[in-house]
């Protein structure tokens, strides 16, 4: 019988595990490593490389090597400006969606993820001596429907039956066997390569129940790497007048050196960055050799660490638990090894020591393997209850968001709400379903849209239109609407990202600006004005992100940065503006 496995499809590294002898075990790859880099390379000779082999040639083939695909999965092009600026390969828009342009061909992020999944499964099958065609795959708890759909599509492209998508913090709880103990309240903090997730769980007596989840989909270990890269590049430019970021191969070398230094600084107080022959000028070759100590690293990344605070506090607030109510604090994800992150978690838990008893890089895959065993009947009983990461609702006729399912509602869940027509004699309605927390519907992501026709003509407010949103255990959404009087019915299953149509035509009012510098200046003025106000309901990490973008944008204008850079920053500021000023669409 084919084996079912658990897979942690990570931003930086991926791990595959299987239950053997009643215990979950990580399955090493062909090189003997327990983690596989989530990296795919397309060589000039036409070869396809995945994992360690792709990493080894990345410096010589930077634009043909794709990494961090998870940060782009299920995202629109205008949502990934910062992420695109931090990678060497080309990120482009295709129908409004983020795509990778590699050697003349465009790849969806889920296609890259599928290649990683296929490599993991093929190598594990050879090691186990069994065919693998089913898997439980993990996703960040804060992933929205589009990102979950993209992950499921990656599994399908890899030839896998996805038994279930399970949130990473929930998987960690399973790996620790918390469902087998007495009931307790656990805070799980997951800082991976590309995302930050926090969940408050109640586990024990055969159950794992998520009480609340929060996160920041723009924060991960990659951001710490790139903050150090920016520092190294700026120092080298100050000393030698050479921009190391201008050359893709050199930039890749600096990125890899920064990542190694970051990892070393989690264990020691000082790390050396040593890159010989990194550049040259008329005077001869130049070398990058410098020491980074932990206090300097903490100063460079202090705002990133501080952005972890609000999601933790929000999750605890939503779950209605105080630090004294927590029985355990579990750390998941490689970036939780950063000492400053651990110190922050310790303070937020009133001195309780965060636990890292299982390898942070492996714990999520181990938990996914436990869940795979439960689903196919090879493990003991356990009941999982997760929650919706974001609210789901309809766009009302006045442009507001009519919420049907609130954030942090236990899933699976099915909710129905009755709506009506806005005009006399109206015989059809456009049903636009969105996901998000903003009051203005235009600032939330469109999940699906369809038209319900055949409504019996009547005065406005008389027809009864029942709209039902159904979210399954994977967080996947089905939407239906019916005319309660006339019987007309329409429904969709959300299987792809639906692009919102701007009420102003092909381009929104801000996006239509033709002067990139003027556009950016206007957005800077707008966001600065809103930052000085109360911005009620705006999370602290969004305000921090806004300040960071304002600094970047101001610097780009002063340095007369290229037009493409100005447009990228304008797109990111437009997204921030949508948080502060609901009247400005984020698309």
For residue 543, the surrounding DSSP H or E stretch is: helix 540-558
Structure-token pair, residue 547: 């300040």
HSE (side-chain half, CA atoms, 13 Å) at 344? 24
Catalytic residue annotation: 8, 70, 168, 190
Question: Per the omega criterion (within 30 degrees of 0), is the bond before 412 cis?
Answer: yes
Instruction: Report pLDDT for 309.
Output: 96
Closest C-alpha among 356, 332, 365, 360 to residue 14: 365
SS3 assignment, position 495: coil
| Whole-angstrom distance, CA of residue 11 vs CA of residue 69 | 7
| Whole-angstrom distance, CA of residue 315 vs CA of residue 119 | 36
Work out the burial of residue 238: count CB atoms within 10 Å of its CB; fewer than 13 is exposed, 13-18 middle, 19 or more buried. exposed
| Whole-angstrom distance, CA of residue 462 vs CA of residue 477 | 28
Structure-token pair, residue 361: 């890089």
| Whole-angstrom distance, CA of residue 385 vs CA of residue 202 | 10
Instruction: Report pLDDT for 475.
Output: 79
Instruction: Report pLDDT for 179.
Output: 66
Instruction: Report pLDDT for 194.
Output: 87
Query: Residue 89 — φ and ψ, nearest 5°?
Result: -70, 165
Handedness of CA 82, 292, 294, 260 (dihedral sign): positive
Whether the CB-CB separation of 101 and 72 falls below 8 Å is answered with no
- The C-alpha angle 138, 140, 145, rounded to 5 degrees, equals 95
For the chain, helix (H) and strand (E) counts, in that order, are: 14, 28
| Whole-angstrom distance, CA of residue 252 vs CA of residue 88 | 7
Closest C-alpha among 73, 74, 110, 104 to residue 89: 104
| Whole-angstrom distance, CA of residue 115 vs CA of residue 131 | 17
Q: What is the pLDDT along the chain (587 residues), one digit of tens a residue?
A: 567 899 999 999 999 999 888 889 999 999 999 999 999 999 999 899 999 999 999 999 999 999 999 999 998 898 888 899 889 899 999 988 999 999 999 999 999 999 999 999 999 999 999 999 999 999 998 888 889 999 999 999 999 999 999 999 899 988 888 766 778 999 999 999 888 999 999 888 778 888 999 988 889 999 999 999 999 999 999 999 999 999 989 999 999 999 999 999 999 999 999 999 999 888 889 999 999 999 999 999 999 999 999 999 999 999 999 999 999 999 998 899 999 999 999 999 999 999 888 888 999 999 999 999 888 875 555 677 888 888 898 888 778 888 888 888 888 889 988 888 888 888 888 888 888 888 888 888 888 787 888 888 888 777 888 888 998 888 788 888 888 876 777 776 665 444 433 333 222 222 222 345 655 776 787 677 667 765 555 677 777 778 888 888 888 887 777 766 777 787 777 667 655 543 222 33
Sheet holding 410-411, edge to edge: 328-332, 184-191, 196-204, 207-216, 383-387, 410-411
Whether the CB-CB separation of 84 and 565 falls below 8 Å is answered with no
Helices within 132-247 (DSSP H only): 145-157, 168-175, 221-240
Structure-token pair, residue 326: 């927590």
Which residues pair with residue 490 across a beta bridge?
481
């Amino acid at each position: 019988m084919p084996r079912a496995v658990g897979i942690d499809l990570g931003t930086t590294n991926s791990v595959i595990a299987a239950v053997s002898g009643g215990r979950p075990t990580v399955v090493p790859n062909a090189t003997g490593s327990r983690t596989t880099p989530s990296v795919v390379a397309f060589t000039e000779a036409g070869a396809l490389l995945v994992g360690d082999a792709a990493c080894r040639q990345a410096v010589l083939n930077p634009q043909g090597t794709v990494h961090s695909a998870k940060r782009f999965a299920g995202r629109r092009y205008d949502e990934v400006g910062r992420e695109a600026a931090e990678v060497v390969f080309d990120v482009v828009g295709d129908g409004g969606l983020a795509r990778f342009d590699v050697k003349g061909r465009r790849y969806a992020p889920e296609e890259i993820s599928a290649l990683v999944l296929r490599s993991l499964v093929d190598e594990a099958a050879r090691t186990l001596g069994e065919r693998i065609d089913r898997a439980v795959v993990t996703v960040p708890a804060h992933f929205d429907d589009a990102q979950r759909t993209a992950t499921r599509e990656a599994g399908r492209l890899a030839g896998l039956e996805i038994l279930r998508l399970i949130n990473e913090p929930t998987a960690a709880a399973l790996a620790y066997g918390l469902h087998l103990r007495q009931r307790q309240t656990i805070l799980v903090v997951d800082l991976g390569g590309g995302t930050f997730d926090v969940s408050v769980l109640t586990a024990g007596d055969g159950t794992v129940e998520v009480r609340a989840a929060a996160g920041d989909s723009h924060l991960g270990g990659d951001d710490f790497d790139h903050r150090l890269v920016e520092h190294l590049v700026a120092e080298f430019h100050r000393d030698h007048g050479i921009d190391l970021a201008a050359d893709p191969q050199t930039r890749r070398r600096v990125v890899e050196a920064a990542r190694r230094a970051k990892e070393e600084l989690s264990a020691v107080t000082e790390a050396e960055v040593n890159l010989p022959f990194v550049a040259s000028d008329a005077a001869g070759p130049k070398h990058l050799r410098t020491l980074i100590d932990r206090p300097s690293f903490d100063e460079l990344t202090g705002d990133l660490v501080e952005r972890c605070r609000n999601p933790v506090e929000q999750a605890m607030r939503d779950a209605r638990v105080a630090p004294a109510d927590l029985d355990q604090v579990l750390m998941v994800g490689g970036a939780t090894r950063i000492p400053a992150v651990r110190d922050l978690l310790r303070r937020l838990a009133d001195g309780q020591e965060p636990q890292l008893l299982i390898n942070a890089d492996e714990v999520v895959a181990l938990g996914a393997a436990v869940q795979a065993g439960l689903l196919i009947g090879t493990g003991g009983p356990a009941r999982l209850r997760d929650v919706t990461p974001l609210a789901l609702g309809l766009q009302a006729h006045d442009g507001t968001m009519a919420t049907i399912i609130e954030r942090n509602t236990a899933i699976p869940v099915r909710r129905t709400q009755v709506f009506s027509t806005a005009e006399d004699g109206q015989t059809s309605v456009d049903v636009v379903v969105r996901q998000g927390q903003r009051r203005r519907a235009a600032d939330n992501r469109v999940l699906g849209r369809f038209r319900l026709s055949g409504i019996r003509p009547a005065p406005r407010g008389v027809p009864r239109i029942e709209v039902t949103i159904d979210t399954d255990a994977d967080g996947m959404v089905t939407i239906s609407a019916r005319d309660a009087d006339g019987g007309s019915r329409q429904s969709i299953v959300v299987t792809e990202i639906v692009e919102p149509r701007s009420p102003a035509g092909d381009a929104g009012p801000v996006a239509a600006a033709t002067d990139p510098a003027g556009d950016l200046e206007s957005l800077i003025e707008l966001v600065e004005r809103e930052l000085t106000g109360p911005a009620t309901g705006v999370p602290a990490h969004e305000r921090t992100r806004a300040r960071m973008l304002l600094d970047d944008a101001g610097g780009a204008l002063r340095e007369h940065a290229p037009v493409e850079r100005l447009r990228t920053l304008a797109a990111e500021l437009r997204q921030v503006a949508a948080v502060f000023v609901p009247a400005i669409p984020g698309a």
